[in-house]
Every structure is written in structure tokens, then in C-alpha cells.
Chains A and B, each alone.
Chain A
Amino acid sequence: MGVIRSLKKNFSGFFRKLFNKKNARIGIYGPPNAGKTTLANRILRDWTGDAMGSVSNIAHETRRARRREGVTIQANGNSLTLDVIDTPGLATKIDFHEFMEQGMNEADSKRRAKEATEGVIEAVKWLENLDGVILVMDATEDPFTQVNVTVIGNMEARNLPLLIVANKIDLPESAPSTIRDAFPQHPLVAISALEGNNIDTLYEEIAKRFG
């Protein structure tokens, strides 16, 4: 099965290069509450006038992967059409008590925990079907999380492009340089998806990296 998938991917990459088709399926990954959906909404609003989904301070607000096809980005005179997949936050543990601490009742917390586990499974499955990943990290948090290490490792093993986004630079405690120092082998753009800071640089990097 792995061999067939690998052959399919190689053929698909070959034909894409042959016909110079600038269309890439890009997943937005990261831990819960890093700002993935805020970034997806920003990209969609800027280029389609639409939005991807709702955001919340409670973790695992996004519990199903959401896909928007044909988002055309223009930067530096280049045009690139993306299928953008906003994925649920990856995690190795989900405890319903943490939702209760956020003010949810027990039944709702258990339901959200169940849906969140399904969301993580879906996000992991999507990893195998992408042309590249935007890995969103919270620039106020420690970058050495297992989620970040796993996503980066998977992209490196598949030799697929990865772009790190250090999000939340509008917060005074943000330190994007910590992320840059942690993963110097990959390009990084520091932004605020919420405020739109440095967003044009991100689009230029997306066009360069995934075009």
C-alpha cells in the first residue's frame, strides 16, 4: 500500500512539474490554540472575502478539518492557487477535565473531548495527502513541543516543503527568535494573524515556498 501511495505521489509530482501547474494542497498544522483558524480566516478573507471557521480561546475549537479549494494568492508578481486545509490542533492527550476548567459542563466537555480525538485522527491522516505544510506556532510558547517535532519530522521524511509561522507577535511576551533558533533549517515568518502584522511577507514566502 505504501509503495502504491509513493508511486502515485511521485507520478503526481512529476506531472505537476511537467505541466507547471501552480496548485498546491497546503495543510495548516500546529498545537491547539496556536492560531491556525485565525490564520486560515486571514488568508481566506484577504483572497476570497470569505472565512474558514469560528475561533475560540478554548482548545480544540476546530474539531474537523476544513478545506477550501482554489484560493489564489498573488505575491511578487507570482500567482499561486492553493487548496487550504485548516486542521484540528494536534495533541497526544485530551482530558475532558480541562474543558470543564474552561467553564463547560461535564456532558459538553466529554462530547468535545470525543470530537477532539476524532479531529486529531483526521489531522494525522491529512499529513499523508499534502504538498506542503504551514506549521503555526505560538511565539509566546516553548517551540519544542512533540507536535512541532512530529510535524516537522514527517515533512522532512517526505521531503515536502514546510513553512513555519511564528504567530501572535502582537503580544509583548512573544519571542519568534526562540522558534527560529529551535528550527533553523526551515524558513520562518513572524506574524500576527489576528492583527495582520507582516502578513504580506507571509504571502511572499508562501508563493516562494509552495509555488
Chain B
Amino acid sequence: MQGIQMDLLSEDRLSRMTTVEKVRFILDEVKSGKILVLERGLTPQEEASLIEMTMTLIEPDDFSGIEMETYPAHEDTSIMGKLFKKQPKTRLTVIGPANKIKTLRKDRDMITALVSATK
């Protein structure tokens, strides 16, 4: 059967990894053609590292990069939240090979993506 593998990754699975391990793992999986849905997503710094590392792997006619989409984090507007500003909470993230996944629409709470088996 032909198709595209989609892995749904729990927060626990990624929380045991360092940033480098996460980025390496994600890119290995995506380069092999998989689409990943991360339950807890990545921190903004991890997203930046992932973009940086992706750029080092781009090769003409082989790997053109990733499609990655995350919702914007909700801001804690409570007084306590503003007083004790914490790291922004991460949210669900979808990552896949740029030649197989295309974001059709994204807003604050919804990501619509088209997945294609052909290049």
C-alpha cells in the first residue's frame, strides 16, 4: 500500500530529549518522508534551531526544506501572568517535508494542510 506515514508524538516522547536531539530526530524523520504532529510542539528557540538546521540540509533536487506550522502561543493576560512572565507555552506543531505538505490556511486555532503523495 502506498501512502504517507504520519506520526503523532506525545509530549512525553519529546520531553526526554535535548534541543539538539529533538531537532536531529525531527529532521531525520521528515527527511525520510514522514509527517510529524507534535502534541506539545517546540519552544520558539527550538523552532529557530530547527529552521537553522534545516537550512544546512537543503540540497537541490533532494531536500528543499520543511513545512512547519504552530499556533501562536496564548498570552497570559492575568495580573499574575504579567507579573511572573513565564516562557510562552508551546502548542501543537505540524512538520513535514516541503514537497509533501502544504499549508492551505492557518489562524489562531486551526491549521489546514494538504498532504500529497506526489512531489
| CB atoms of A127 and B48 under 8 A apart | yes
Contact with B along A110-152 (1 / 0, CB 8 A): 1001000110110011010000000000000010111001101
Decide if B72 touches A149 in the complex (CB within 8 Å): yes
Known contacts A118-B55, A125-B52, A142-B106; is-contact A92 B72 (Cβ 8 Å): no
B72 proximity list for chain A (CB < 8 A)? 144, 149, 152-153, 182-183
Asked if B67 is an interface residue, CB under 8 A from chain A, the answer is: yes
**A163 interface contact, C-beta 8 A:** no
| Complex CA–CA separation, A125 to B73 (angstroms) | 22
Q: Is A210 an interface residue (CB 8 A)?
A: no
Given known pairs A90-B51, A124-B51, A156-B88, the reply for A146 and B69 (CB within 8 Å) is: yes
Report the tally of A-B residue pairs with Cβ distances under 8 A: 93
B58 beta carbon closer than 8 Å to chain A: yes
> Is A159 at the interface (CB under 8 A from chain B)?
yes
Is B56 an interface residue when CB atoms closer than 8 A count as contact? Answer: yes
Q: Which residue of the partner chain, among B52, B64, B66, B70, contacts A149 with CB atoms under 8 Å? A: B70
A90 to B48, CA, bound (A): 10
In the complex, what distance in Å separates the CA atom of A110 from the CA atom of B62? 12
B43: min CB distance to chain A, Å: 7
**B108 neighbours in A (Cβ, 8 Å):** 144, 182
Q: Decide if B78 is an interface residue (CB 8 Å cutoff).
A: no
Query: Does B45 reach chain A (CB closer than 8 Å)?
Result: yes
Contact of A3 with B by CB under 8 A: no
Q: Give bound CA distance, A103 to B98, whole Å.
A: 22
User: With contacts A146-B70, A150-B47 known, is A121 near B55, CB below 8 A?
Assistant: yes
When distances are taken between beta carbons in the complex, the residues of chain A under 8 Å from B12 are none
* Residues of chain B whose beta carbon lies under 8 Å from any beta carbon of chain A: 43-45, 47-49, 51-52, 54-56, 58, 60, 64-73, 75, 85, 87-88, 98, 105-108
Chain A positions within 8 Å of B, measured between CB atoms, are 90-96, 110, 113, 117-118, 120-121, 124-125, 127, 142, 144-146, 149-150, 152-154, 156-157, 159, 182-183, 185
